[in-house]
Chain A
Amino acid sequence: DQQVKQNSPSLSVQEGRISILNCDYTNSMFDYFLWYKKYPAEGPTFLISISSIKDKNEDGRFTVFLNKSAKHLSLHIVPSQPGDSAVYFCAASALPNTGKLIFGQGTTLQVKP
């Protein structure tokens, strides 16, 4: 069963606009969430994370929002830049920190100049 789901395979936005990538999860034991960015022929790169005790975490142009009651998180990128074009994965880790991350299927973001 897919415990972490990214239901949008792709997203296209104009440069300078906001990109919103969504992620849903089913396991209420997940306590920490992460976003990774992946360029072709490279491994995933850690972007930003959030603990389940928070509802928002911000790092520069990137903000992650967590809605525990809805089991939903989102990544906002403002303003979007062409260099942000990549595949974005959300991932979750369960209590205790077992080391295992459960990834969604990914969303391909294209930022058009």
Chain B
Amino acid sequence: DTGVSQDPRHKITKRGQNVTFRCDPISEHNRLYWYRQTLGQGPEFLTYFQNEAQLEKSRLLSDRFSAERPKGSFSTLEIQRTEQGDSAMYLCASSLAEYYEQYFGPGTRLTVT
């Protein structure tokens, strides 16, 4: 197994543009999580899926953010009308539902200019 992968690794966009990130979890994992990390901070929870169902969303996830996991496999995180404050590392993780341990991908670094 190759672990959790994320694409792209880096994204530079202008304020007001939309961006979409993709995450491919470890194949047998039924849970998939999105976190955001800013400089000097730990990852902050955004949302998670169990199979196709989105079970929890953080209040950090404004209306401009949407996440999907259409077939219970890969997931996408879209940010509409990006703002400079959206600049961060977006991390994806996966796990089996019965275990607490989550395994992270390398992240997508977003820079909004």
Contacts and interface: CB of A to CB of B under 8 A. Distances in A.
Contacts of B105: 43
Contacts of B56: 98-100
B48 A44 contact: no
Contacts of A41: 106
B48 A100 contact: yes
Given A97-B100, A99-B50, A105 B41 contact: yes
A93 B42 contact: no
Given A99-B56, A100-B48, A46 B42 contact: no
Interface string A69-113: 000000000000000000001010100011111111110000000
Contacts of B100: 32, 34, 49, 93, 97, 101
Interface residues of B, number: 28
A49 B101 contact: yes
Interface in B6-34: 6, 31, 33
Kindly name the residue among A46, A91, A100 whose own CB sees the greatest number of chain B CB atoms within 10 A.
A100
B44 A46 contact: no
A96 B36 CA distance: 23
B74 interface: no
A45 interface: yes
B63 to A, nearest CB: 20
Contacts of A103: 42-44
